[in-house]
Structure 1
């Protein structure tokens, strides 16, 4: 384990991408490296333990989701002593860049992944796509992908109109079709909301027997943010890396939704739309009794008055 320490308390927010990369290079020092990968990507490596977490993130996401604008994997270096390789893009690129392909080719040729006892690939959305796609470079790795796209090839996913600007980008060449790239993984976990049509359709394309799908119904379009808000993402990543994640354990963790107001509001709106008044009343009563939730208190009063009238 390297002796040099990283100052995990040093904030990197409100910086341009180039300023951020320069600061990260200085912080990492002898513990690792930062490698530019063309004009849109870079890779940050911090060496620590014999478990390697490979994350795919965007510069914008790092600035938004971390109070200190640190890559997600630095939490793992700090808290559980894992090594971390972060591949970072400027915007949502799905990492479809020959410079990124060449970087992973180089890692394979150097036997980089063979130096670690365990390897875990992680990402969400376009970064979840990349986590699945590039996991093929580390046979035996585990994958945790939140709301991943399987491909944006219009011949396969023309029904997904959310990313029309990516239609001209090739998803048919190297590291292209994410479900196929999971053939070498030891296991892969796909987290998605079945009520989000496009996310559910992409999840359905991950038919590999190594894949286990973990539904988060009625959680919406920003599952990674919700998991962070519920303080669950760190535990999920650790459990996956240690081989301890199971559908039952995931379901128990998801009981935290009972205290997550964004989820409860979505559930309220859905029951309201369906006209399920008895369940609406029970939901509002339960939430009003447990949480500081004025919306539910007011709705409970209105429902009670309607019943009495």
Structure 2
């Protein structure tokens, strides 16, 4: 089935909006999914990150993760957006992906990649299997927020209202056939590290970036690394040596200094040493 036919079939099953830039938006309970056709060579499926709980706007009012970036690259994109922080657990979004798969939407593309951070990083891993992804790029994802981790996972209490036990969201199963699953995280941010340790697949590439905290993409954006990291995953192979060479440049960022100061935990000797080695007036960017 052609991509045109697949979109037409999905439009029969879901309420849609025509977007001004030639895209189409599918709407369902709790979510909207934007599709932008920029050719059949590559498709990137992105998942929006967790938003502040006070954010009350509908999914249709949100901007898709990486929209401008993928538009500039000329890559076809499917942007998954949510009304609230559901961690993509509502049945409606799973049903949409199953419908899209059944009408041949994903098989129309030569190469498919999933992409996201935090809650979106979870989504990128959780749906990589059903879209037949060749690659997955997930920044500091949550892997499981269910009862089994509540003895140590103290964040995201709102996630407890959702089921985390169904086998379709066993992330180790979902990424089993993904050729290049890449997870980037801070090993010294304890809860993120413990989440990533729940991934047991031996083929998962786990890239460690110490002392940047949970807001990994902000550091990568400041370093000009987001495009490079995406392109490496898209190409099918990550140059680890070059990756670690590039991330060492984070020591020139003001936000890196501030994370380090926070990690000092009030230790005056560590605090003074960080101030001496990372003088604020010589660093770049926003805190």
Match of 2:277 among 274, 277, 283: 283
* From 213, 225, 231, the counterpart of 1:238: 231
The alignment of Structure 1 onto Structure 2 pairs a total of residues equal to 265
Q: Paired residue for 2:84, among 83, 91, 116?
A: 91
Contact 2:44 2:115 in 1 (8 A): yes
Q: Distance in 2 between matches of 1:73 and 1:269?
A: 29
Query: What is the distance in 2 between the residues matched to 1:128 and 1:170?
Result: 18
Q: Give the structure 1 partner of residue 37 of structure 2.
A: 47
Q: Secondary structure at the match of 1:27?
A: coil
In the TM superposition, what whole-angstrom CA distance separates every residue of 1:90-125 from its partner, at most 9, and x where no partner exists? 222101011101111012111221111211101111
Output the TM-score relative to the length of structure 1.
0.75
Task: After TM superposition, give the deviation of residue 173 of structure 1 in Å.
Answer: 2.0
Deviations 1:281-305 (A, max 9, x none): 75146x65x4479xxxxxxxxxxxx
Matched, 1:247 2:247: no
Shift of 1:53: 0.7
What's the secondary structure of 1:92's corresponding residue? coil
Residues 1:256 and 1:91: Cα distance change in structure 2 (over 3 Å):
farther
CA RMSD of aligned residues (A): 3.1
What corresponds to 1:229 in structure 2?
A: 222
Quote the Cα distance in structure 2 between the aligned partners of 1:119 and 1:104.
Answer: 14
Structure whose alpha-carbon radius of gyration is higher: 1
Contact 1:150 1:202 in 2 (8 A): yes
Note the 1:124-143 alignment, pairs <5 A: 124-143=117-136
Distance 1:283 1:268, change over 3 A: farther
Confirm whether residue 33 of structure 1 aligns to residue 27 of structure 2: no
Q: Are 1:216 and 2:209 matched, yes or no?
A: yes
Most deviating of 132-141 and 97-106: 132-141
> CA offset at residue 58 of structure 1?
5.0
List alignment gaps of at least 5 residues for structure 2. 4-14
Q: Within 1, Cα distance between the matches of 2:143 and 2:65?
A: 23
Higher helix share: 1
Measured after TM superposition, the shift of residue 76 of structure 1 is 3.9
User: Which residue of structure 2 aligns with residue 116 of structure 1?
Assistant: 109
Q: Is the 8 A contact 1:56 1:127 kept in 2?
A: yes
Task: Tell me by how many angstroms 1:256 deviates.
Answer: 2.9
Q: Which residue of 2 aligns with 1:177?
A: 170
User: 2: distance between equivalents of 1:202 and 1:277?
Assistant: 28
Contact 1:133 1:178 in 2 (8 A): yes
8 Å CA contact 2:180, 2:236 repeated in 1:
no
Q: 1:265 maps to which residue? A: 258
